[in-house]
Structure 1
Amino acid sequence: MTVIYWVRHAPTHENTFVGHRDVPADLSDTAQIARLNAALPQDALVVSSDLSRCVDTATAIQGPRMRLSHRVGLREFDFGDWDGMHFSDVSKKWPDLSRSYWQNPGDVAPPNGESWHAAATRVSSEISTIVKDNPRRDIIAVAHFGAILTQVQLAANIPPYSALAHRIDNYSITEIQVRPTFGVARVNHVP
């Protein structure tokens, strides 16, 4: 069986949209990092988004595990013009669009950004390639809130709106079984 252990990166302490913008993670909670490391399989391969908050989190938990190259395809949603803006400012400037983005995720995209479907296709393609290139190996994929939720949506066969109801905390593990069956084993487990 192949299992992907999706790990959300360490906190950034941002209170704005953070998509493709590269902001650092706060890795000062070494006790939490140790608990996370202990909860993950020691023989799994480690891969991450290429953004520093994921790269640095992956490095913190890597230990003796083999590391794969960083992947652009595992990035967070591209929030376009919203990236760096506070949520309330977005809802004031684009009230209908922002409401539709959250209530009808799918083809709705921020200005100069990407939709749920576009992000889900990108992340799914990247992780499928990783699994195909590493048969019968478990994968620890350090990624972002939205990227992980697209995979929950796919594995659970639920609409994007239902996937958005799940929490994905920093340092959490979301376990998705890929082979021989496809499904969600657990979501947002914080060790």
Structure 2
Amino acid sequence: MPPFSSRVYLLRHGELIEQGVLAGQTDFLLSELGRAQLHQACNELTNIELVQSSTLKRCSEFARSFSHAQQIPLFLTDQLREFNFGDWDGCKYDDLWQQTDSPGLGDFWQSPWQVTPPHGESMRDFYQRIATWWQTLLIDIASNRTQAQLVLTHAGVIKQLLGIICQLPKESNQQNIFSIGYGKLICIDIYIDDSDKAWPRIVF
């Protein structure tokens, strides 16, 4: 098939109603500012053909309203959910830093590939979840010739995706060089060549 170009917009959810928490997979809602941040981010988006979203409410509620307003399909998936911090999920950062249990949050931040949160997700499983979703996305784009789509997700997910696109060593924790603010939109152009190979690039 002839080559073509597609565009994927990665959008982090807006500000949460709860502040200073390790949100993870806890289903917090957005604040009024958080909802406004998403509307502003999407104000000038055109030609979106599909919306994909994490199933967590801080992403999915806006995704539903946007897809309904634009009359375009919506696909909700657990693959786009944030990292599962297990027993730390939803806790205040201040409380977590004061805990003396082992492993602690500090241990995880320093060595996320060696330390798994109690009853949480391993970084290896998280990476594989995101990498699998990304490869499926590229195959779907090549098959369906999707011109543009919006993906609502979380900071941890976007950092992993940017690391994959930039071909960073996955166990180096270099993904943390990226800082993704609330309601921030990142554009990825994807060129599909005549052999259906995908060539993504980050557009600033």
Report the TM-score range of the alignment, normalised by the length of the smaller protein. Answer: 0.7 to 0.9
CA RMSD of aligned residues (A): 2.4
Residue type of the partner of 1:139?
Answer: Q
**Does residue 171 of structure 1 match 2:183?**
yes
Q: 1:41 is matched with which residue?
A: 46
Structure 2 residue runs without a partner (length 5+): 193-198
Instruction: Confirm or deny: 8 A CA contact 2:103 2:117 kept in the other structure.
Output: no
1:76 corresponding residue in structure 2 = 82
For 1:81 and 1:3, the matched residues in 2 are separated by 37
Deviations 1:133-179 (A, max 9, x none): 34321221100111111101111122453221321111111223344
Is 1:113 matched with 2:148?
no
Q: How many Å separate the matches in 2 of 1:52 and 1:29?
A: 12
Partner SS for 2:189: strand
Residue 85 of structure 1 corresponds to 91
CA distance in 2, matches of 1:174, 1:116: 23
Single out whichever of 132-141 and 89-98 deviates more from structure 2. Answer: 89-98
Q: CA deviation at 1:106?
A: 2.7
Matched, 1:7 2:11: yes
CA distance in 2, matches of 1:31, 1:16: 21
- Residue 125 of structure 1: how far off its partner (Å): 1.4
Distance 1:151 1:78, change over 3 A: same
| Contact 2:112/2:173 (<8 A) preserved | yes
Q: 1:64-110 CA deviation, whole Å, 9 max, x = no partner? A: 15222210110000010101212232233246542232223334321
Counterpart CA distance in 2 for 1:178 and 1:120 is: 21
How big is the shift at 1:30? 6.4
Q: Of residues 13, 24, 28 in structure 2, which corresponds to 1:23?
A: 28
Q: Scaled by the length of structure 2, what TM-score is found?
A: 0.78
Bigger drift between 65-74 and 55-64 goes to 55-64
Aligned to 1:184: 202
TM-score, normalized by length of structure 1? Answer: 0.83
Bigger Rg over Cα? 2
Runs of 4+ in 1 over 6 A off after TM superposition: none
Asked if residue 158 in structure 1 is aligned to residue 168 in structure 2, the reply is yes
